[in-house]
Chain A
Amino acid sequence: MAGVSKTLEIRTSPHILSGYSVDTIMFNVVLALLPVTAFAVYAFGLPALLTLTVATVSCLATEELATRVAGKASALGDWSAAITGLLYGLTLPPGLPLWMVAVGGIVSVGLGKTLFGGLGANPFNPALVGRAFLQAAFPVSMTSWTPAFGAERFYTLPASTLTAPLTKPSYHDALSGATPLARWKFDGQLTEVSDLAFGAIPGSTGETGALLILLGGVYLVARNMMSWRIPVAILATVACTSGILYWLDPNAYPSPLFMLFSGGLMLGAVFMATDMVSSPMTNAGCVVYGALIGLLVVVIRLWGGMPEGVMYAILLGNAVTPHIDNLIRPTIYGARPAEEMS
């Protein structure tokens, strides 16, 4: 094309551009995830590093393979598969066998994204599709946690990490580290909020550094690359609902701060629910979507059978997104509302 000067360019709308392309935004999401990722490796050591690497590589490889089979141009350059892989890795327990990590990575991009037609066509957040598949397929491994800040974390691996493919991992030598939510649900013990905020707790690789997740979210909002309404709506709904319940009966329900900083709520609210493809398009729709997810999180956590429900809450929110977009539509410029017309 070099040397050819275009005098007339014909293209479809939109004609007013924000200056951001898909790959710019995606690259900035990766940047925003870097502190969380670094903290994950610092807190959980070598197993977290391997988990994140295998998760990202398996997602990238599946994306490349799928585009080749479909005869499309390689889509690795738009960073979306890398984000899926990184986010997916951040939701996994650090000691998960690496073969399971790879299986989930193939499922997240293969089943969650490319089968629906690739980036922009997936109804669900691909990273969470992969995690939900693993949760249903290998429930024991997905709820076996290693404690954070172990003394030998940088040069030893738990026995489960390097389990041979398709075989059962052994957890006999791993120190059992229940997550704060599981401890509350099954043992009635509360964890200090300061421990939750600074990540001195067992959990998925990326969910423990709550403050760093918020930092990444603030960066993306400041650069206008993320809808602030979704995380704010989710967190506000969780805080209000659990606040009312705590006020009614402080013995039966945990405090709102505990609810906000425990489990995957921060990671889910900031990085998962805000996935541009699977969240509503309008501002009002985003608030409805966030409030729905927040409500589901509280319901699943407090009354459900599982200690954590952020993943299912977001997937259910994704499922109703098309309906929210159908019900809440912006007025078209120049068009009058129906009652004025008649």
Chain B
Amino acid sequence: MALPPSQDAPSPMDEFSKGLWRENPVFVQVLGMCPALAVSNTAANALAMGLATLFVLTLSNAVISSLRHFIPKQVRIATYILVIATFVTVVDYAIQAVSLDLHKALGAFISLIVVNCLILGRAEAFASKQPIGVAVLDGLGMGTGFTLALFSIGAVREILGNGTLFGIALFHESFQPWIVMILPSGGFFTLAGWLIVFSWLQEWRERRRRENAVQSPVVEVTR
């Protein structure tokens, strides 16, 4: 079934790196908003949630991709959810074993990874159509991008809202914490701020690319 790799097919490195920047799940695709807003109140929570999602995403991509010829089309969503839920259960028990405090801090959001639209989206749109190696790379890239995004939201919120990063005080004790940043509304403010930064950067890259494209024919004419 798999098509032979054509000339303009993306390289394996592209499959990994697209999730980090060009198609970043949070800042570009705006997927997985529930954990991105709800458990990004400290850097540690955000990082743990990101890593848990990375694990589930990569392994579910691998399993779904390897089973893609056996899953009947009519029941594919139920099958994907079953596969994802299996790995979420693994993560749930693992976090409980490693740190009970962290498990309490993340609360219901660990179980809710099952319904994270990012994971189901990659399963449906990518892993079910691609060979296993590429699907794993895609899961790793998207998961890393998700982790980075959650960490950058969580770090800003913890630094401003609490004056700490990973629980270590960054400022003199006279620092006035901005309590709003660790409240739910702070998640929205920080996400909006990062979205502005990202769209500015995208726009700037786009403009530079267009300027280069305009210049290149001129070079050919002179040659």
Instruction: Give me the interface of A with B, judged by CB distance under 8 Å.
Output: 111, 133, 136-139, 141, 166-169
Chain B: interface residue total (CB-CB under 8 A): 12
Checking B171, B174, B178 against A137 with a beta-carbon cut-off of 8 angstroms, the contacting residue is B178
Output the least CB separation between B159 and chain A (Å): 11
The answer on a CB contact under 8 Å between B176 and A166 is yes
Output the least CB separation between B40 and chain A (Å): 17
Q: How far is the CA of A167 from the CA of B173 in the complex (A)?
A: 9
Residue of A nearest to B189 (CB): A111
The answer on a CB contact under 8 Å between A166 and B179 is no
Chain B positions within 8 Å of A139 at CB level: 179
Chain B positions within 8 Å of A136 at CB level: 179-180, 183, 185
The answer on a CB contact under 8 Å between B175 and A137 is no
Q: How far is the CA of A138 from the CA of B180 in the complex (A)?
A: 8
The answer on a CB contact under 8 Å between A138 and B176 is yes
Residue of A nearest to B181 (CB): A137
Chain B positions within 8 Å of A168 at CB level: 174-176
Chain A positions within 8 Å of B178 at CB level: 137-138
Q: How far is the CA of A138 from the CA of B185 in the complex (A)?
A: 14
Residue of B nearest to A111 (CB): B189
Q: How far is the CA of A111 from the CA of B171 in the complex (A)?
A: 27
* Given A136-B185, A138-B176, A168-B175, 16 other A-B residues pairs in contact with their CB atoms under 8 A: A136-B179, A136-B180, A136-B183, A137-B178, A137-B179, A137-B180, A137-B181, A138-B178, A138-B179, A139-B179, A141-B176, A167-B172, A167-B174, A167-B175, A167-B176, A168-B176
Where chain A touches its partner, the secondary structure class is mixed
Q: Which of B171, B175, B176 lies at the interface centre, i.e. has the most chain A CB atoms within 10 A of its CB?
A: B176
Q: How far is the CA of A169 from the CA of B180 in the complex (A)?
A: 17
The answer on a CB contact under 8 Å between B179 and A169 is no
Chain B positions within 8 Å of A141 at CB level: 176
**Top 7 A-B pairs ranked by shortest CB distance?**
A136-B180, A137-B180, A167-B174, A137-B178, A168-B176, A168-B174, A137-B179
Within 8 A of A (CB), among B5-30: none
Output the least CB separation between B179 and chain A (Å): 6
Output the least CB separation between B104 and chain A (Å): 25
Chain B positions within 8 Å of A169 at CB level: 176
Q: How far is the CA of A141 from the CA of B179 in the complex (A)?
A: 12
Instruction: Give me the interface of B with A, judged by CB distance under 8 Å.
Output: 171-172, 174-176, 178-181, 183, 185, 189
Could you show 9 A-B contacts with beta carbons less than 8 Å apart?
Answer: A111-B189, A133-B180, A138-B176, A141-B176, A166-B175, A167-B174, A168-B174, A168-B175, A168-B176
Output the least CB separation between B186 and chain A (Å): 8
Q: How far is the CA of A223 from the CA of B169 in the complex (A)?
A: 57
Q: How far is the CA of A51 from the CA of B176 in the complex (A)?
A: 19
Chain B positions within 8 Å of A138 at CB level: 176, 178-179
Q: How far is the CA of A139 from the CA of B176 in the complex (A)?
A: 11
Residue of B nearest to A136 (CB): B180
Chain A positions within 8 Å of B171 at CB level: 166
Output the least CB separation between A176 and chain B (Å): 20
Output the least CB separation between A72 and chain B (Å): 18
Q: How far is the CA of A169 from the CA of B178 in the complex (A)?
A: 13
Residue of B nearest to A169 (CB): B176
Output the least CB separation between A25 and chain B (Å): 32
Q: How far is the CA of A138 from the CA of B181 in the complex (A)?
A: 11
Q: How far is the CA of A166 from the CA of B183 in the complex (A)?
A: 19
Output the least CB separation between A260 and chain B (Å): 31
Chain B positions within 8 Å of A166 at CB level: 171, 175-176
Residue of B nearest to A164 (CB): B174
Chain A positions within 8 Å of B172 at CB level: 167
Q: How far is the CA of A169 from the CA of B174 in the complex (A)?
A: 8
Residue of B nearest to A139 (CB): B179
Output the least CB separation between B200 and chain A (Å): 11
Q: Which of B171, B178, B185 lies at the interface centre, i.e. has the most chain A CB atoms within 10 A of its CB?
A: B178
Residue of B nearest to A167 (CB): B174
Chain B positions within 8 Å of A111 at CB level: 189
Chain A positions within 8 Å of B189 at CB level: 111
Q: How far is the CA of A136 from the CA of B160 in the complex (A)?
A: 13
Output the least CB separation between A328 and chain B (Å): 30
Q: Which of B171, B180, B181, B189 lies at the interface centre, i.e. has the most chain A CB atoms within 10 A of its CB?
A: B180
Residue of A nearest to B196 (CB): A115
Q: How far is the CA of A156 from the CA of B189 in the complex (A)?
A: 37
Chain A positions within 8 Å of B179 at CB level: 136-139
Chain A positions within 8 Å of B174 at CB level: 167-168
Q: How far is the CA of A133 from the CA of B160 in the complex (A)?
A: 14
Q: How far is the CA of A111 from the CA of B176 in the complex (A)?
A: 21
Q: How far is the CA of A309 from the CA of B3 in the complex (A)?
A: 64
Chain A positions within 8 Å of B183 at CB level: 136
Q: How far is the CA of A10 from the CA of B183 in the complex (A)?
A: 52
Chain B positions within 8 Å of A133 at CB level: 180
Chain A positions within 8 Å of B185 at CB level: 136
Residue of B nearest to A97 (CB): B176
Chain B positions within 8 Å of A167 at CB level: 172, 174-176
Residue of A nearest to B172 (CB): A167
Output the least CB separation between A174 and chain B (Å): 16
Q: How far is the CA of A166 from the CA of B173 in the complex (A)?
A: 11
